Structure formats: structure tokens, C-alpha cells
Amino acid sequence: MADTRIPREVSTRQQEERPKTWTPPELLPEPDKQAGYAYRWIRTSMMNAADPRNVSSKLREGWEPVTIEEQPKFRLLADPDSRFKGSIEIGGLLLCKAPEEMIEQRAKYEADQTAAQADAVDNSFMRQNDARMPLFSEKKSTVTFGNK
């Protein structure tokens, strides 16, 4: 019975591998990551109309355009008629980078703002509490299964 088995070293899984299928290319290529930086595509125009307000607000937030020298694989993809000379702009989107520390600080700031707003809503809700008909402000839920 053991004579009919094929040794594991001889058998391969290549036969069971699924055939590769064609997928459309991504609209925006992924940049090569540089340690300590986060990357983002920022809108410079919409429906062929420039959007300077969006660009200036993102630049004030700390985003800086990525140059072609930093990402040489984008040399052929960059828009030659771009307003941002030497930067990478594809289809009205400008590739920008920012230090990861700034991104983390921004996320913390927004989380604090959200928590403060939730506390304000809870305080406003509980202000209407009456001892004759108390309001409940439970912050956790439980899940039960079956009849107990």
C-alpha cells in the first residue's frame, strides 16, 4: 500500500496553481516609499478647472510636492504641461509627501476633536436628565446568544 504513494519531494503544486488573469492597470502608480514619509495624491484640478484652494490648503498643512528626481520611474508618466514644474502630476493629481510624525500628530488632533465633540453631545443629552425618568448613556453593548 505504501508503494503506490508519490514522495512529497517529487510532487509539486504547480499543476494546481490558478492561471494568471489580465487586470487593468492602476490609474495612479504607487510611489517607491521613502523611510519616514507618507505619500498622497492631491487634487490640482477638477473637470479641467484648476483648484488652487485645495492645493494651497494641503501645502499649508505640510504636504510638499515630490520631485521627478526623487521618483525617477515617473519621468515618462508626468504631465509635461503641469503648473508644478519638476513635480509629478498625473491627471490633475499631484504626488506629495509629508513626514509621518506630522501625519500622526494630525490624526491625534482629529481624534481629540472628535472625542471633545462626543463629550459635548453627551453632556447636552445628560443635562436633560430627570430623576423621575432617568436617561441612560451606556457606552458599551453586549451580545447574547440563545435563551438564558
Tell me the pLDDT band of 54, cut-offs 50, 70 and 90: very high
Residue 4 CB neighbour total at 10 angstroms: 5
Q: What is the mean pLDDT of residues 3-11?
A: 71
| Predicted confidence (pLDDT) per residue in 82-120, tens digit | 888 889 988 889 999 999 999 999 999 999 999 999 888
Tell me the pLDDT band of 5, cut-offs 50, 70 and 90: confident
| pLDDT of res. 131 | 65
Q: Is 87 helix (H, G, I), strand (E, B) or coil?
A: strand
| pLDDT of res. 20 | 83
| pLDDT of res. 97 | 96
| pLDDT of res. 86 | 87
All three cell numbers of 81, joined, read 504641461
State the chain's mean pLDDT as an integer. 83
| Predicted confidence (pLDDT) per residue in 60-86, tens digit | 999 999 999 998 888 887 777 788 888
The phi and psi torsions of 65 (rounded to 5 degrees) equal -60, 145
Burial 98-116, CB ≥16 within 10 A → b, else e: beeeebeeeeeeeeeeeee
| Predicted confidence (pLDDT) per residue in 117-141, tens digit | 988 887 777 777 766 666 665 666 7
| pLDDT of res. 15 | 58
What pTM value is reported for the model? 0.64
Higher-confidence position of 143 and 44: 44
